[in-house]
Structure 1
Amino acid sequence: MSTSVLQNEECQVARCTFEQWKAPLQWAAYEKWDLGHNDHYCFYHTDPDGFFVGFVNGQPVASISCVRYGDHYAHMGHYLAEPNQRGKGYGLKTWEYFLKFFDDFVLALDGMPEQTENYAKWGFTTYYKNFRFSGQIRQQLLEDYPINNKHISTINSTMLPGIYEYDFQCMGLRREKFLQHWFTYEDNTGYVYQTPAGIQGLLGIRPSTDGYRLGPIYSDNEEIANSLVITALKSLPDNSRVTVDIAERSHSLIALLIKLGMSEIFYTNRMYRGTPPTGTPEKIKAIASLELG
């Protein structure tokens, strides 16, 4: 881990420890980001060197994460400032510091529309939208959606090699460190759709600040995606709030969520600096996290 520190006037920026990262998590809760209970563990386990905080007089004032998948690709997130320290340029200083470590990387982020022009100034290009849908799920409505569970099972650790390969097929990059815990850590759960021909879909679900979060959702077709979603939702207590960041191309799944009482609350733009990885994006129905892709 690099120990170099940038000092800009009164703001010092450096890579931070797991303990120091608790402050940005509190800012995210203040912003109602509805992070999963175990997300911070999975984030930090994936790349402990990917977390940056700006400090003023030893107190955290701004943050950003940039988690590496391999030697040439990283996903950005957690671009935040402490609520009482905004408008002072600390976020920009933190941004400028972290960026110098990633000159040779393809960078991805999921940015709010109002920030798109700012990101474009740094070389980022918009490729598609992810819509955040959220709502309380009534189990009574799910009774209208009987499914055949013959090919759906809960993900366990023995399945992870196959999960890694299917994720690689969909994403076009290796994410073993991230996926190692995402579906199985504590009360995180995953479902896989698998036939003798192999894995044809998977879904993650985890408890969050406001209820439950779905993601990622991958599938070879919309019918499989819908079956995985219904299976996951039927496992929850009645009237649970569920949130998912769903790709704009997932028309059938969006229609299903609306029928179940969920609605769009905002959208983000998936942006890349550099050439995006070559996967099968049509299989990506919903992302795992705005912070990790």
Structure 2
Amino acid sequence: MATFEITGASAADMGLIRSWAEEEGWNPGDSDRFAFVVADPEGFLVGRRDGEPVTCVSAVRYGAGFGFIGFYIARPDVRGQGYGIQLWRAAMERLDGRLVGLDGVVAQQDNYRKSGFLPAWNNIRYEGAPQGEDDGGAEIVDAACLPFGVLAAYDRRFFPEPRDAFLSAWTGLPGRTALAAVRDGRIEGLGVVRPSSGAHRIGPLYAASPQVAAALLRRLAQHAPGGLVALDAPDANPRATALCEGLGLVPTFETARMYTGPAPRIALPELFGVTSLELG
């Protein structure tokens, strides 16, 4: 009889988890995992059958009251055998007592509802090369030139708990570009573009207006081969989806943002692209 155990993910496991996510068509960033483990080194779990990894999930803790589920994958050859649900229960137990969020494929909404999750909005992935000229009116600068405390305080407007260590890695890893929009000494936007196996991923994309968002998006796309980028826009902000369509990007994928309780209060009208479908 096969044995099944749940352990924390090793560095090698993190590479495997990334490849599984790629096989699912999620197009994770090439170096995302290095920022992920900074967020919560113990937040990545692997289910092993007879010592061999067959399932994975992330259950990342933020602050004292928030958690996020991601990377919930069972290897195709073991699906339907109960290994995935065992790992899911371990992940939810790790986040017990917290408000928990996730981004799941729309087809799985009913299953997540059974675990107490309620839909908040859908994230629509738009891809392509943004068209048009910059007209945002704000100055676009390298985000690394700004005091990190300014970036962290700005990020807190869009996320329910501080995540400074993650943000530092996410914006500063080699190969990616982080740009900020500044007007009259105030930050009015932030965006990060990172290499992926498909179109370069942009996230987050925060902006005070669609014009600033468009300027950031176009400038970030200059750092992607052929200008091809992918952005996960929340449909709860109609300005975000309208912006993507107005720039000539096309929808290719969709996920459901869900929470175990009321959705956190964030600056949703200024959220044009979520940071990560895996960690929120």
Q: TM-score, normalised by structure 1?
A: 0.89
Q: Distance in 2 between matches of 1:257 and 1:278?
A: 24
Check 1:79–1:148 CA distance in 2 against 1; reply closer, same or farther (3 A cut): closer
Q: TM-score, normalised by structure 2?
A: 0.93
Shift of 1:20: 2.2
Q: Which shows bigger deviation, 244-253 or 182-191?
A: 244-253
**Residue 131 of structure 1 pairs with residue 124 of structure 2:** yes
Q: Which shows bigger deviation, 157-166 or 280-289?
A: 157-166
Aligned to 1:77: 70
Aligned to 1:107: 100
Aligned to 2:8: 15
Aligned to 1:117: 110
Match of 1:65 among 58, 64, 69: 58
Q: Which shows bigger deviation, 152-161 or 24-33?
A: 152-161
**Residue 181 of structure 1 pairs with residue 166 of structure 2:** no
Q: Counterparts of 1:1-293 in structure 2 under 5 Å?
A: 10-135=3-128, 137=129, 142=131, 144-147=132-135, 151-156=139-144, 158-238=146-226, 240-293=227-280
- The CA RMSD over aligned residues, in Å, is 2.0
Check 1:279–1:259 CA distance in 2 against 1; reply closer, same or farther (3 A cut): closer
- The aligned amino acid for 1:53 is V
Asked if the contact 2:190/2:216 (under 8 Å) is kept, the reply is: yes
- Please state whether the residue corresponding to 2:272 is helix, strand or coil: strand
- Please state whether the residue corresponding to 2:228 is helix, strand or coil: strand
Segments of structure 2 that go 5 or more residues without pairing to the other structure are none
Shift of 1:209: 1.1
Asked if the contact 2:54/2:74 (under 8 Å) is kept, the reply is: yes
Q: Distance in 1 between matches of 2:263 and 2:136?
A: 36
- Please state whether the residue corresponding to 1:231 is helix, strand or coil: helix
Q: Distance in 2 between matches of 1:220 and 1:19?
A: 40
Aligned residues: 280
Q: Which shows bigger deviation, 113-122 or 226-235?
A: 226-235
- Please state whether the residue corresponding to 1:169 is helix, strand or coil: coil
Shift of 1:231: 1.5
Q: Which runs of 4+ in 1 moved over 4 A?
A: none
Aligned residues with identical type, % of pairs: 30
Q: Distance in 2 between matches of 1:9 and 1:52?
A: 19
Asked if the contact 1:76/1:108 (under 8 Å) is kept, the reply is: yes
Deviations 1:109-160 (A, max 9, x none): 011111111111111111111101123x2xxx74x41446751101116532
- The aligned amino acid for 2:258 is M
Q: Distance in 2 between matches of 1:213 and 1:146?
A: 20
Check 1:48–1:59 CA distance in 2 against 1; reply closer, same or farther (3 A cut): same
Q: Distance in 1 between matches of 2:200 and 2:78?
A: 30
- The aligned amino acid for 2:94 is F
Q: Which shows bigger deviation, 269-278 or 112-121?
A: 269-278
